[in-house]
Structure 1
Amino acid sequence: MDKIALFYNPVAGGGTFHTRLDTIISIMQEAGLQVVPWRIRNNKQLLTDMAAMDLEGFHTIIAAGGDGTVHGVVNAMMHLGIKVPLGIFPIGTANDTARNLGISTDLEGYCRVITDGQAEPVDLGKINQSYFINIASAGFMTEVAHQVSPKSKNLLGKGAYYLSGALKLSEMKSFELRVEVDGQSFICNAFLFLLLNGKGAGGFNEIVPTAAMQDGLLDLMIIKDGSPAQLLSALRKSLVGEHLEDSVIIYVQGKKFRLETTPNIETDLDGEAGHPLPWDIEVIKHGIQVRVP
């Protein structure tokens, strides 16, 4: 019987995932798969825990939680050189990575991705010695996201981010951003930058509608310093997918980037606090196999 390692975040999804374990185990056993569950304490400890386990030869390694949980499992797998397909049980707040890959948030749906889906190659971004599967960002909304408590996320879901952001709008401050992308460079004043592997993040599904997680490219979107009227105009255009042409938006694709800011600001990798800038970034084409529908 093939084995599945199930690494789950006990506080994600309101802390109720443990109530689903029996159903999950039943579905997997019917498909001839044995579930080996592991309760995640934190992402730093996860690397040590996975290193002590013999996971090579497993059918799938599942990350059950939100985007931060997926980030932790992906980084542990990459640092340990584990070549096993990744599965995602999206039980967190935004679940951007799963959404970009078409993975259902329904229990039956995400289980069937493991039993019946295909393992497909997916790109990764590498920043210094860390990896991200969906997004690396810094600026206004990044700072807001880090101030939202787990209790608020469980209570309000994605609305917790939007509410916190609305309350902090008057505190928006721009920063100087220096960008190098595939040998070209420029400088601008910005409120926020998003370096994306997938189409969406933060619950916004079409930030870069043409982005693909298998194309060997990363997509950089910068929101420049602008007036409230300019920013509102860009927001309205985003509702119909026309924002990338707006005057306060810079959009470029590339394989290698260097990003620096003045002053230094908070950063984020897949929903987790990121490393300080400057960043040297490269895309790892088809860096990991992921089970998808």
Structure 2
Amino acid sequence: MRARVIYNPTSGKELLRRNLVDILQIYENAGYETSAFATTPEPNSARNEAKRAAEAGFDLIVAAGGDGTINEVVNGIAGLERRPKMAIIPAGTTNDYARALHIPRNDLVAAAEIIEKKQTVLMDIGRAKNKKQDTYFINIGAAGYLTELTYDVPSQLKSVFGYLAYFAKGAEMLPRVKEIPMHIEYDDGVFDGQASMFFVALTNSVGGFEQIVPDSKLDDGKFTLIIIKTANMIEILHLIRLMLSGGKHIESPYILYKKTSKILARSADGSKLMINLDGEYGGDAPVEFTNLRQHIEMIANVEEIPNAVDTKDVYVDDVEEQFIREIDELTDEDTK
């Protein structure tokens, strides 16, 4: 068997480069003749190499880097008839996909060692189709005013502060959030109305938060569609607080929360609606999202993956607790 490690040499403060020999040895010990490819600044470097390796008959492709590198590798193989297994070694900022697969996020060697468990899961993959292209995504599709913060947060700030950078930028943008007339079709109905944003989620982790989709499953062929039906700053802050308090936002009247295998989304008035796929610009609406059920076999820490997160007892770390306190202070001031 052959494995190809596609790694971003600049991810994780160049820790990947320094640990590469140990990582290659782990896959060799697992029975793979292993080689490596360092991505370059050229567009689609990881994507092109993943496609080449898959077509060359490699049995395993390891995506080592941030969520962007993982997304590129998926886009390189998702459209092929023969798709090799995938493994990931997370070295980015939020590492949403690693969170969902319960891959160690702070130890590159330990992440590679998951191969030794010989556990895999057949993962759902999303496909977004508009007039210009088909693009695959592994975690989240979204559109609306708040999703623009993903483009605006400088990469240097992301790498230093992680999702605190999103907090800061999001708080700055909240006063500018507006409602957009949206038309969204899903399996069991149609939404026609005003919304500030919508999410199409494949996993439970978005932007480092693991409570946005508290009942997610990785292989059921269903997206979780979340439509936020308000642009009021106080109401949005309250929704964030409910989310951080155990996924209770899904019970709010300001949220439409549905399971669906397909989604068609566009603005209702013909205005431009940019689509965000795994944190990157993915073209403009109208867009059709299709869930490709159990499309890629992924090395995972399967025994640690829950069927659903218990929304009654979700761990909230110190950063999130501080954010909750700040939300409470803001909302108290604005309601006086």
Q: Deviations over 1:189-210 (max 9, x none)?
A: 1112110011121111110111
* TM superposition shift of 1:115: 2.9
1:205-238 Cα distance to aligned partner (Å, 9 max, x none)? 1101111111111110111124333223222221
Shift of 1:56: 5.1
Q: Residues 54 and 77 of structure 2 are in contact (CA less than 8 Å); yes or no, is this contact kept in structure 1?
A: no
SS in 2 for 1:200: coil
| Preserved CA contact (<8 Å) 1:43 1:73 | no
Using structure 2 for the length normalisation, give the TM-score.
Answer: 0.81
Distance 1:112 1:197, change over 3 A: same
Moved more, 42-51 or 211-220: 42-51
Q: Deviations over 1:158-178 (max 9, x none)?
A: 222222212222221221111
Task: Assess, with a 3 A threshold, how the Cα gap between structure 1 residues 283 and 265 changes in structure 2: closer, same or farther.
Answer: same
Matched, 1:25 2:13: no
Structure 1 residues 216 and 179, CA gap change in structure 2 (3 angstroms): same
Deviations 1:52-104, CA, capped at 9 Å, x for gaps = 44655434101111211111100110234342111011111111111111111
SS of the equivalent of 2:214 reads: coil
For 2:66 and 2:47, the matched residues in 1 are separated by 18
Matched residue type, 1:38: F
Relative distance call for 1:43 and 1:110 in structure 2 (3 A) is farther
**Residue 224 (structure 1) aligned with residue 235 (structure 2):** no
- Asked if 1:131 corresponds to 2:136, the answer is yes
Aligned pairs for 1:268-287 (under 5 A) are 268-287=276-295
Which segments of 5 or more consecutive residues in structure 2 lack a partner in the other structure?
302-336
> Where does residue 165 of structure 1 map in the other structure?
170
* Cα RMSD after superposing both structures: 1.9
**Where does residue 83 of structure 2 map in the other structure?**
83
The answer for the alignment partner of 1:111 in structure 2 is 112
- Equivalent-residue separation in structure 1 for 2:97 and 2:52 (angstroms): 27
Tell me, yes or no, if the aligned pair for 1:56 and 1:83 is still in contact at 8 Å.
no
SS at structure 2 position matched to 1:28: helix
Query: Could you say which structure has the higher strand fraction?
Result: 1
Length-normalised TM-score, structure 1: 0.92
2:97 & 2:187 partners in 1: Cα distance? 25
Q: What is the rounded CA distance, in whole Å, between the counterparts of 1:266 and 1:9 in structure 2?
A: 27
1:249 aligns with 2:255: yes
SS of the residue corresponding to residue 161 of structure 1 reads helix
1:281 Cα deviation from its structure 2 partner: 1.5
Report the count of equivalent residues. Answer: 292
SS at match of 1:275: strand
Shift of 1:43: 5.2
Task: Tell me the SS of whatever aligns to 1:221.
Answer: strand
Alignment map for 1:1-293 (pairs within 5 Å): 2-41=1-40, 42=42, 44-53=44-53, 57-105=57-105, 106-128=107-129, 129-182=134-187, 184-238=189-243, 239-261=245-267, 262=269, 263-293=271-301
Inter-CA distance 103–51: structure 2 relative to 1 (3 Å threshold):
closer
Please identify, of 106-115 and 93-102, the stretch whose mean Cα deviation from structure 2 is larger.
106-115
Query: Unpaired segments of 5 or more residues in structure 1?
Result: none
Measure how far apart 1:146 and its partner are.
Answer: 0.8
